[in-house]
């Protein structure tokens, strides 16, 4: 509708890693984990959702073949091998989406494994399950796992570490490095002192899915210090992740332990 000239040139859809695999091997494929985040994929059947694609007025031919993440797509083309300084005997594996791949890295590869929280620029909590999580309020969503037959129910907040980086820039600067700000924040308790932070600096996904959501300090008073502000940001991210855990619990997923990965771990 908005860029008809661009649209007229479109021949295929793919995800970021799929384009890299295409450049390396000459083959355009995708995997189940990325496809399941497209809103054009049937989680139950593990195939493109033809009814939805047809309703959107799109040809099915736009969508690449879906394969397992562990599929060896092929070897490097001569051009790719020359550019990389490798040989054409080098095999290229399909790979997966960032969140489900993080689940593998965190060791969350079976339904009895505890969930993990990723504390990066964004932040999310994920489980491994034998079936998609069903949340009537649509606060959590499910990807296909890299492990065939499993799913990755996920609740993602837009700004996790990004909130901490922001407050460090605002109240710290070069004179107050991040690690020093965090150490000083350990000496106060913002919520106990009436100060709260809403961490929606980039809109919000879980649990609100509202691109217009905005951040805020609530309860700010004259006696609050930089340490209170930093501590409030840390607590605000944690409180939002707790809301995500509450949403999981209502969908039937609970945990007594959580493994942490990412820079914020």
Structure tokens at 154: 């996920």
- Give, as one character, the DSSP assignment of residue 131: S
Over residues 42-70, the pLDDT tens digits come to: 999 999 999 999 999 999 999 999 999 99
Mean pLDDT of successive 10-residue stretches along the chain, which has 265 residues: 95 96 98 97 96 96 97 98 98 97 97 97 97 93 96 98 94 81 94 97 96 98 96 97 96 95 91
How long a stretch of residues is the chain?
265
Q: Is 80 helix (H, G, I), strand (E, B) or coil?
A: helix
pTM of the model: 0.91
Distance, C-alpha 67 to centroid of its chain: 21
Cis upstream peptide for 225 (omega within 30°): no
- Buried-exposed string 14-39: b where 16+ CB fall within 10 A, e elsewhere: bbebbeebbebbebbbbbbbbbbbee
pLDDT confidence of residue 174: 66
Structure tokens at 29: 């494929």
Over residues 112-151, the pLDDT tens digits come to: 999 999 999 999 999 999 999 989 999 999 999 999 999 9
Q: Is 19 helix (H, G, I), strand (E, B) or coil?
A: helix
Q: At 173, phi and psi to the nearest 5?
A: 80, -170
Helix or strand run (H / E) with residue 168: helix 161-171
Structure tokens at 129: 């399950």
Catalytic annotation, pick one of 18, 39, 42, 98 = 98
Residue in this structure with the two tokens 């000496």, named with its chain if needed: 187
pLDDT confidence of residue 19: 97
Q: Is 125 helix (H, G, I), strand (E, B) or coil?
A: strand
Does residue 98 have an active-site annotation?
A: yes
């Amino acid at each position: 509708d908005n860029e008809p000239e661009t649209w007229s040139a479109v021949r295929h859809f793919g995800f970021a890693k799929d384009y890299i695999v295409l450049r390396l091997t000459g083959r355009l494929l995708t995997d189940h984990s990325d496809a399941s985040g497209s809103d054009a994929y049937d989680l139950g059947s593990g195939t493109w959702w033809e009814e939805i694609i047809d309703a959107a007025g799109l040809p099915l031919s736009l969508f690449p073949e879906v394969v397992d993440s562990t599929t060896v797509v092929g070897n490097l083309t001569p051009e790719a091998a020359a550019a990389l300084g490798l040989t054409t005997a080098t095999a290229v594996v399909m790979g997966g989406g960032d969140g489900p791949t993080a689940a593998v890295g965190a060791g969350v590869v079976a339904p009895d494994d505890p969930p993990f929280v990723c504390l990066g620029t964004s932040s999310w909590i994920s489980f491994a399950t034998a079936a998609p999580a069903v949340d009537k309020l649509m606060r959590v969503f499910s990807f296909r796992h890299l492990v065939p037959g499993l799913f990755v129910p996920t609740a993602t907040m837009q700004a996790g570490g990004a909130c901490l980086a922001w407050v460090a820039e605002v109240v710290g600067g070069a004179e107050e490095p991040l690690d020093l700000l965090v150490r000083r924040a350990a000496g106060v308790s913002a919520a106990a002192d009436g100060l709260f932070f809403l961490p929606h600096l980039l809109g919000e996904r879980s649990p609100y899915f509202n691109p217009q959501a905005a951040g805020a300090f609530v309860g700010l008073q004259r006696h609050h210090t930089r340490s209170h502000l930093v501590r409030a940001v840390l607590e605000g991210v944690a409180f939002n992740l707790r809301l995500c855990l509450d949403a999981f619990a209502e969908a039937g997923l609970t945990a007594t332990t959580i493994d942490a990965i990412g820079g914020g771990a």
